[in-house]
Amino acid sequence: MMTDQEAEAFTFDGGRVDPGETEEFRYPVTETYLGDPVRIPVTIINGPRPGPTIFLSAAIHGDELNGIEVVREVAQEWDHSDICGTLVCLPVLNVQGFVTQERYLPIYERDLNRAFPGKQNSTGSNRIAYQIYHNFIEPCDFGLDFHTSTRGRTNMLHVRTDMDDEGAARLARAFGTNLIMAGEGSSGMLRREATDEGIPTITLEMGEAHRFERELIDHALEGVRSVFAEYGIYQQETVRWPGWRTVIGDWSEKTWLRADSGGIVEMYYEQGELVHEGEVICRITNPFKSDATVVKAPFTGLLVGVLENPVVYPGNPLCHFIKIEETQERIIEAGSGAHG
Ligand SMILES: [Zn+2]
């Protein structure tokens, strides 16, 4: 795309980054009780050659850390001397949440990922979202937003996006995960609002909060490389095929298996594993390891997410489980290129 054109400057309120230049800075999005600025870290890499503009964002939920390392490594460790296009790297969007290691903002409307595209002269989270969106999302052609599971749980690396949107579907496939969860997402979500405004955006879910998980980070970096290949940002790379892929949506059979008794959970599988109908996924026992409640797979499926903190009350989620069709099951069992 745009190969006949000259590379253009990236501009935002208060600055510009010309082709062939990289800028690292902190951009104010709100203020503390002390009146001090709260600033998000931004790295903009404008390549020497024309191409698309893509944003990579993380920690919109402040305790979801894996994506921070993905974005930092792309921004700070990859060689950008020959790229076609512009990278807008936003490793920590929710600064207050990051500082306190909490998912949410410390203000009334707490979820920053329900405040997009944001609004000036409005509520606290809307103003923050507006500064981010107006300056660093709107100028982009598409984007990748990195998340993890909420604390106490973990999930396999997968994409969430609106597969009915052609641009988002192309981006989702290019990232090359085994699993794509299709759905437009909630109103106010960065990925939904950006996609609706013509900036196809996918969410990457990977692992658990409060951790750097090296294997997942490496897989996500491969995904970013594959996306860069798909859109010609990296012209020497090729798009990655993950070996098998399943797309699930509203039409799919999926469920959160929940605990029917309180107790301590012995989990026998990890996220990303295939479990056959009737196999025991986990056991819930009392402190004497007697009186076990056995939880079996209600159908053959993939464990997308599992709990990490092994204690439950009745009703607590144990795992996120999705049905896999027979043909897909054989492909997964053949293990061609599978990874969690
Ligand atoms: Zn999140």
Q: pLDDT digit string (tens) for 36-65?
A: 999 999 999 999 999 999 999 999 999 999
In tens, the pLDDT along 324-333 reads: 988 888 888 8
| Structure confidence at residue 261 (pLDDT) | 94
* Count of C-beta atoms within a 10 Å radius of residue 141: 18
Q: What is the whole-number distance in angstroms between the Cα of residue 200 and the centre of ligand 1?
A: 18
Name the nearest CA neighbour of 230 among 145, 158, 163, 144: 144
The ranges assigned to domains in the chain are 10-242, 250-334
CA dihedral of 264, 269, 270, 276, whole degrees rounded to 10:
-130
Low pLDDT (below 70) residues in the chain: 1-4, 335-340
- The residue count for the chain: 340
CA angle 185, 62, 105 (to 5 degrees): 85
Helix (H) or strand (E) holding 257: strand 254-258
Q: How far does residue 58's CA lie from ligand 1's centre (Å)?
A: 9
Q: What is the pTM of this model?
A: 0.94
Cα–Cα distance measured from residue 19 to residue 183, given in angstroms and rounded to the nearest whole number: 36
User: What are φ and ψ of residue 322, in 5° steps?
Assistant: -125, 145
**For position 333, what pLDDT does the model report?**
83
Q: What are phi and psi of 214, to 5 degrees?
A: -60, -40
Compute, in angstroms, the gap from residue 205 CA to the centroid of ligand 1.
Answer: 8
> 250-334 sits in which CATH class?
mainly beta
Look at residue 30 in the predicted model and tell me its pLDDT. 97
Ligand 1: centre distance to CA 292 (Å): 33
Distance in Å, CA 276 to ligand 1 centroid: 29
pLDDT in tens, 68-117: 999 999 999 999 999 999 999 999 999 999 999 999 999 878 999 999 99
Computed over every residue of the chain, the mean pLDDT equals 94
CB 39 within 8 A of CB 27: yes
DSSP letter assigned to residue 231: T
Domain 10-242 has CATH 3.40.50.1820: no
Owner of token pair 């230049």? 21
User: Could you tell me the distance, in angstroms and rounded to a whole number, from the CA of residue 103 to the centre of ligand 1?
Assistant: 8
> Are 284 and 293 a contacting pair, CB within 8 Å?
yes
Q: Please provide the DSSP assignment of 191-220 as one string.
A: HHHHHHTT--EEEEEEE-TT---HHHHHHH
Residue 232 Cα to ligand 1 middle (Å):
29
> Measured between alpha carbons, how far is 104 from 95 in angstroms, rounded to an integer?
10
